[in-house]
Amino acid sequence: MKTALSTVLVLGLTAATAVSAAIITVPLDYLEFPEHRNPESLTKRYFQKRAALSTNIPLTNVENDVIYTVPVGLGTPAQNFNVAIDTGSPVTWVSLTTCTSTGCASVNKFNCAASSTCQAAGQNFSANYVSGQGVSGDYYIEEYTLGQLNFQAVMGGVTVNSAPLPTGVDGIMGLWFYGPGSNIPILNRLYNTTALTQNMIGIYLTPSTSTSNTAPGGEITFGGVDTTRFQGQISYTNCVSSRPWTIPVAAMKVGSTNIAVGTSVAAIDTGTTAMLMPKAVSDQINQAIPGAQLANTQSGPLWLIPCSGNTVTTITFGSFTASIPYTSLAMQSTKTATTQGDFCVSAAMFPSGTTATIDAWLIGDAFLKNVYSVFDFGTNTATGGRIGFAALGSGGSTVPATGSNGNSNNNNNSNASSAAKNLRSITALQAMAVVAVAASVCLAGL
């Protein structure tokens, strides 16, 4: 079955029409998803995954910095969807018109029969949470439209959805890059074409200043970076092998307290709102904040900190050190009035639930909206690429900072001659994610 599926995918994908290299900047929106603001949700997420042309297309920030979405067209003619950008997921999916689950009730649905380019891949897919929530359906090969960028890639068509997204979000844009090769993540597909000027994406997230459900949320650039969004040079850190978009944590400091990070690694995840780390690390971070309290809630114990404060928090990846503003660490949308003042949920969370030990961190938007981030899949490709950070501002340089890890040739566009190169089946990719979770449990000694 794996061999047959691989053949179907190769035949479908290699039939795509070649396009000229491009740099596409897409605006983002933001949307709030309250369920993402607690340790139980983040624990579930941890185990769920382990210049030729330029145009502007925005991101949307949905409900106070919780989900950032981008518009995408699927099919011919294009059917339009608003999907969450997610560097922590391999599959891009939307619901099909045949989905009758509650989670499909209020979203735009894809109609394969209405698209002249829709091809069934003959293989089902699923994305599951440890709670039992998740989505499942079938893989399709379809045309994507992102601004002026057009390419053919795999998408998941959901027929069963027990994990509904917030109103205004139709699905997920999976932005994993799998170093050994796969045709499932769209970045792997773009790597095997000449569609992009450079094999990288640049992400600029903006915090919400609005009380409305949605607001402008920044932008995502495919094929390069937007130098008007950052200052100075980009500092890169190589990804660790077999863990998509995961890099070593060099240091962390809260006030005058140096946090013991050891040999920790962190998945840099645009689909995560806060930050998840081992309990000992979370405790050390929050205990360094004046007034912090450990509270018991329905979703498990979590740290509450005063909503206002001036404790300086920094985190270092490679040679880049970034400050996390106090208002990002104290999640302002969770503000609760008490007799001791206003308290907010701390973004530095630890796992909650039946499995309370992890061996990697999740670093989400609480950090990412304070930096310009680059996910480079054209350098150090075999081990999963590299991640770059730069300070927000303007007039940035595309020359890597001194001391950055990896090949400094950012114009690497060593695309494969055909989609068959480094092919991995859908089943193999899903198995890799399961193996990564199992390895985490073993290393934790459970």
Assigned domain for 70 exists: yes
Q: Is the domain of 27 the same as that of 68?
A: yes
Judged against a pLDDT cut of 80, whether residue 156 lies above it is answered with: yes
Q: Is the domain of 163 the same as that of 239?
A: no
Burial of 268 (0-12, 13-18, 19+ CB in 10 A): buried
Assigned domain for 383 exists: yes
CATH number of the domain that 217 lies in?
2.40.70.10
- 218-245 confidence digits (pLDDT tens): 899 999 999 999 999 999 999 998 889 9
Average pLDDT, the chain: 78
Q: Is the domain of 371 the same as that of 253?
A: yes
H/E run at residue 383 = none
Which tokens sit at 88? 């922590």
- Residue position matching structure tokens 């709102």: 273
CA angle 96, 97, 103 (to 5 degrees): 65
Assigned domain for 351 exists: yes
- 393-445 confidence digits (pLDDT tens): 999 888 887 666 654 334 343 332 222 222 222 333 332 222 222 222 222 22
Phi-psi region of 293 (alpha: psi -120 to 50; beta: other; left: phi over 0): beta
Mean pLDDT of 353-372: 81
Q: Is the domain of 252 the same as that of 112?
A: no
Q: Is the domain of 216 the same as that of 343?
A: no
CA contacts within 13 A on the Cβ side of 383: 14
Q: Which of 43-52, 359-368, 427-436 has the lowest mean pLDDT?
A: 427-436
Q: Is the domain of 276 the same as that of 352?
A: yes
The percent of residues in the chain predicted with pLDDT above 70, rounded, is 72
Distance CA(55)–CA(224), nearest Å, equals 12
Judged against a pLDDT cut of 60, whether residue 287 lies above it is answered with: yes
Q: Is the domain of 76 the same as that of 164?
A: yes
Q: Is the domain of 85 the same as that of 142?
A: yes
Residue 267 — very low, low, confident or very high, per pLDDT cuts 50/70/90? very high
Most confident range, picked from 157-171, 206-220, 276-290: 276-290
Cβ proximity of 247 and 237 under 8 Å: yes
pLDDT confidence of residue 233: 96
Q: How many domains does the chain have?
A: 2
Q: Is the domain of 121 the same as that of 140?
A: yes
Catalytic residue among 65, 86, 138, 170: 86
Among 141, 225, 156, 223, residue whose Cα is nearest residue 190: 223
Distance CA(421)–CA(406), nearest Å, equals 23
Check if 86 is active-site. Answer: yes
Catalytic residue among 29, 65, 138, 269: 269
Q: Which residue range forms the structural domain that includes residue 181? A: 2-221
Assigned domain for 157 exists: yes
Longest dimension (CA), the chain: 66
Q: Is the domain of 266 the same as that of 170?
A: no
Distance CA(104)–CA(96), nearest Å, equals 8
Domain boundary among 221, 250, 272: 221
Q: Which residues contact 334 (CB under 8 A, 6 or more apart)?
A: 37, 344, 345
CB atoms within 10 A of CB 262: 9
The percent of residues in the chain predicted with pLDDT above 90, rounded, is 50
Assigned domain for 344 exists: yes
Among 378, 88, 59, residue whose Cα is nearest residue 236: 378
Q: Is the domain of 69 the same as that of 112?
A: yes
Domain boundary among 188, 221, 254: 221
Domain boundary among 172, 189, 221: 221
Assigned domain for 416 exists: no
Residue 353 — very low, low, confident or very high, per pLDDT cuts 50/70/90? low
Q: Is the domain of 435 the same as that of 310?
A: yes
pLDDT confidence of residue 66: 63
Cβ proximity of 221 and 372 under 8 Å: no
pLDDT confidence of residue 213: 60
State the amino acid at position 386 in one-letter form.
R
Assigned domain for 281 exists: yes
